[in-house]
């Protein structure tokens, strides 16, 4: 086993359940102690300094830490991504990615390693929007704390003005071979992590890591028609890759809040509208406010029953990245009056007397219910 395989928690001298704060202070203390500047010419200190950085790099990241807890060092030997980030990428690569913003490739020039470099981790950001915002779309800004390529060293991890030298462990190949039983196993060089070079003197700003945590403000464009579960990918806005490697992506997970009036099923909106029993019996027209704020006129056919659904085409939610809108479904509730004037009672009694069931069988059920409700009322 090579020296890099010391348990990360042991390296940082913390327990396995140490929280971020404990980790950070343990890392700072040890990084100070083993910093090459404090131990000039001591290769043991230099090696330990690198190990500490490597351990902290993994444990400070919840995804990587979880992968490490589960798989140990093996999680990071296939060029990162083997653990959390890669799996996540695969899972995300499907329908939910509705668009991709290509931002300037600030990181593009850096790196250029000998093998495929491990890219930075993908990040998740949860965003709540109202149904109206989901209808219209929304442009907003978010600020997140995310690791970015260190400026003074351009992500190389080497103190500006100092150079890198070819890794002696792997002679610059980035990979080492080891006999394991009958097999020869090739894996990423533990000394240079596959880069083929090692840093002589770590950059002071980033401790040799090539990246630093910084708040970042991002423009988020929420298109019309998003739903809970829609993900927006901001390409390259995830965590910076180590040593100038490409950054990961940022995924905005959308959650649409419940609405007081409308329920939603895909592009269909559903609303419940109470009408008076006279409108139900005689028919008429009502107006209700739509999700776009416009009033919608609804024709009520005479004799409509409670629970009946009417459909207004094109008054639902917009199709995400498409044309047109879904439908609005109006579910009718017939309200039985609870306060009647003497005159109204008189009219209803008159109506009741005409109900012999012969002239209009369709409306018979309706008036039976009125009668039942009436009886309940007078008990």
Kindly tell me which residue out of 26, 52, 121, 153 binds Zn ion, with binding defined by CB under 5 A.
153
- Please tell me the distance from the alpha carbon of residue 198 to that of residue 190, in angstroms, as a whole number: 11
End-to-end alpha carbon distance in the chain: 88
How many Å separate Cα 255 from the centre of its chain?
A: 9
Nearest to 159, CA basis, from 19, 20, 296, 35? 35
* For Zn ion, the closer CB: 150 or 332: 150
Closest CA to 175 of 83, 121, 113, 108: 113
Sign, CA dihedral 311-315-318-319, equals: positive
In the region spanning residues 157 to 186, those forming contacts with Zn ion, defined by CB under 5 A, are 167, 169-170
CB of 219 to Zn ion, least distance (A): 27
Kindly state the smallest distance separating residue 194's Cβ from Zn ion, in Å.
7
User: Residues in the chain, how many?
Assistant: 379
Closest to Zn ion by CB, 189 or 291? 189
Q: Work out how close the CB of 236 gets to Zn ion at its nearest, in angstroms, rounded to a whole number.
A: 19
Tell me phi and psi for residue 163, to 5 degrees: -115, 175
| Among 138, 323, 101, 326, CA closest to 233 | 101
Which of these segments, 34-42, 49-57, 192-200, 341-349, binds Zn ion (CB under 5 A)?
192-200
Q: Does 101 interact with Zn ion (rule: CB under 5 A)? A: no
Provide the H-helix boundaries in 197-304: 277-282
CB nearer Zn ion, residue 187 or residue 272: 187
Q: φ and ψ at 29, to 5 degrees? A: -60, -50
Q: Determine phi and psi for 370, rounding to 5 degrees.
A: -60, -40
| CB of 157 vs Zn ion, minimal distance in Å | 6
Among 30, 58, 192, 328, binds Zn ion (CB under 5 A): 192
Residue 243 or residue 374: which is nearer to Zn ion going by CB?
Answer: 243
Other CB atoms within 10 A of residue 360 CB: 13
Which phi and psi angles does 32 have, rounded to 5°? -65, -45
Q: Residue from 12, 59, 189, 250 that binds Zn ion (CB under 5 A)? A: 189
Q: Which of 147, 191, 230, 271 binds Zn ion (CB under 5 A)?
A: 191
Q: How far is the CB of 54 from Zn ion (least distance, A)?
A: 13
Q: Which residue has the tokens 């090459």?
A: 36
- Residues contacting Zn ion: total by CB under 5 A: 11
240 binds Zn ion (CB under 5 A): no
Burial class (CB in 10 A: 0-12, 13-18, 19+), 177: exposed
Q: Say whether residue 131 binds Zn ion (CB under 5 A).
A: no
Kindly tell me which of 162 and 336 has the beta carbon lying closer to Zn ion: 162
Binders of Zn ion among residues 323 to 362 (CB under 5 A) are none
Q: Residue 150, interface with Zn ion (CB under 5 A)? A: yes
Q: How far is the CB of 160 from Zn ion (least distance, A)?
A: 8
Element (H, E) at 101: strand 97-101
Among 14, 110, 203, 330, binds Zn ion (CB under 5 A): 203
User: Where do runs of H (alpha helix) occur along the chain?
Assistant: 8-11, 20-34, 43-59, 62-71, 84-92, 131-136, 277-282, 342-354, 361-378
Examine residue 205 and tell whether it contacts Zn ion (CB under 5 A): yes
Quote the least distance from Cβ 203 to Zn ion, whole Å: 3
Q: How far is the CB of 207 from Zn ion (least distance, A)?
A: 8
- Cβ closest to Zn ion, residue 114 vs residue 364: 114
42: annotated binding-site residue? no
Find the shortest distance in angstroms from Cβ 120 to Zn ion: 15
Residues 40-99 that bind Zn ion (CB under 5 A): none
The contacts of residue 370 (CB under 8 Å, 6+ apart) are 277, 336, 348
Can you say which residues are annotated as belonging to the binding site? 150, 153, 167, 170, 189, 192, 203, 206
Which residues make up the interface to Zn ion (CB under 5 A)? Answer: 150, 153, 167, 169-170, 189, 191-192, 203, 205-206
Can you say which residues are annotated as belonging to the binding site for Zn(2+)? 150, 153, 167, 170, 189, 192, 203, 206
């Amino acid at each position: 086993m090579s020296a890099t395989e010391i348990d990360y928690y042991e390296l940082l001298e913390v327990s396995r359940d140490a929280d971020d704060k404990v980790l950070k202070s343990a890392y700072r203390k040890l990084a100070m102690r083993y910093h090459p500047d404090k131990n000039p010419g001591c290769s043991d200190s230099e090696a330990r300094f690198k190990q500490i950085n490597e351990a902290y790099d993994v444990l400070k990241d919840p995804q990587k830490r979880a992968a490490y807890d589960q798989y140990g060092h093996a999680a990071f030997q296939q060029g990162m991504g083997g653990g959390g980030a890669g799996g996540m990428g695969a899972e995300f690569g499907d329908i939910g990615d509705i668009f991709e913003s290509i931002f300037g490739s600030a990181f593009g020039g850096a790196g250029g390693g000998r093998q495929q470099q491990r890219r930075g981790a993908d990040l998740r950001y949860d965003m709540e929007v109202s149904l109206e915002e989901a209808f219209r779309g929304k442009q907003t800004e978010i600020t997140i704390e995310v690791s970015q390529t260190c400026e003074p060293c351009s992500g190389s991890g080497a103190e500006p003005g100092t150079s890198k030298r070819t890794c002696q462990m792997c002679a610059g190949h980035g990979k080492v071979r080891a006999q394991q039983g009958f097999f020869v196993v090739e894996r990423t060089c533990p000394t240079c992590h596959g880069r083929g070079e090692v840093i002589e003197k770590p950059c002071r700003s980033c401790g040799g890591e090539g990246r630093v945590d910084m708040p970042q403000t991002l423009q988020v464009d929420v298109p019309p028609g998003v739903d809970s579960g829609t993900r927006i990918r901001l390409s390259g806005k995830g965590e910076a890759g180590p040593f100038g490697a490409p950054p990961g992506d940022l995924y905005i997970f959308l959650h649409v809040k419940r609405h007081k009036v409308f329920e939603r099923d895909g592009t269909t909106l559903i609303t419940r509208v109470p009408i008076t029993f006279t409108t139900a019996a005689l028919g008429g027209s009502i107006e209700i406010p739509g999700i776009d704020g416009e009033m919608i006129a609804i024709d009520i056919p005479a004799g409509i029953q409670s629970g009946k659904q009417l459909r207004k085409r094109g008054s639902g939610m917009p199709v995400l990245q498409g044309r047109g809108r879904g439908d609005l479904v109006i579910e009718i509730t017939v309200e039985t009056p609870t306060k009647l004037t003497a005159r109204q009672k008189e009219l209803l009694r008159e109506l009741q007397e005409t109900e012999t069931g012969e002239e209009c069988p369709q409306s018979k059920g309706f008036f039976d219910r009125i009668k039942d409700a009436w009886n309940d009322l007078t008990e």
